[in-house]
Amino acid sequence: MYRPYSMHRSPIYRAAAAVLLVVGVVFGQPTAAGLLARWMAPSHLSSTGRDGSTTVVKIGNDAPRPAWVPVPPDVSIVQASAVTNSLHRHDGGALNVTSRAPLDQIRHFYDDKLRAAGFAVKDINARTGDGAIIDGTRAANGDEIHIFVGEPSGLIASRLIQIEWTMNRPGGAQPARR
């Protein structure tokens, strides 16, 4: 009788799942997600639109980001992505990192770095437990950054910091609104 291969029966799969479970319990879910992301290969996608523009999506820890996107010291990258378009002015991306730093230290880091880069910073302070939301806008060109600081998790607590940005390049066409 034919039995299709089942990945969950593989000893390698079971060992990897056990490692991720232990890492998730001890160091927190963000650290386990970072480990899983390192095991997966980076992705690079490209497409051409009807308007002739080329959109490129890069997913992986080495995805490019603008120099003004601050990354705290002593963090581990969980996942990164970047989207660029050859015609339109708006590029964007995301970066997820883990940190063991206290919330106040993280908030001060982003406030200082973003203000130094010319951003108006708004700490929304919409706390649900031990997390925060920080937004920044640069009036000179419309660049935006949004930072979501999660609650600590794991026995050796770490917290997920999600950074999303939109960068406006000079020139280029505005994307069509639908």
Chain segment 15-41, per-residue pLDDT in tens: 777 776 777 777 777 777 777 776 666
Residue 86 lies in a domain: yes
Residue 94 lies in a domain: yes
Residue 91 lies in a domain: yes
Give the structural domain span for 99.
Answer: 7-168
Residue 2 lies in a domain: no
Residue 174 lies in a domain: no
Residue 178 lies in a domain: no
Distances (CA, A) of 167 to 17, 45, 49: 37, 20, 20
pTM: 0.76
pLDDT tens per residue, range 102-114:
988 999 999 999 9
The domain tally of the chain equals 1
Residue 76 lies in a domain: yes
Strand order through the sheet with 132-137: 43-48, 54-59, 76-85, 90-99, 159-168, 144-149, 132-137, 120-123
Residue 175 lies in a domain: no
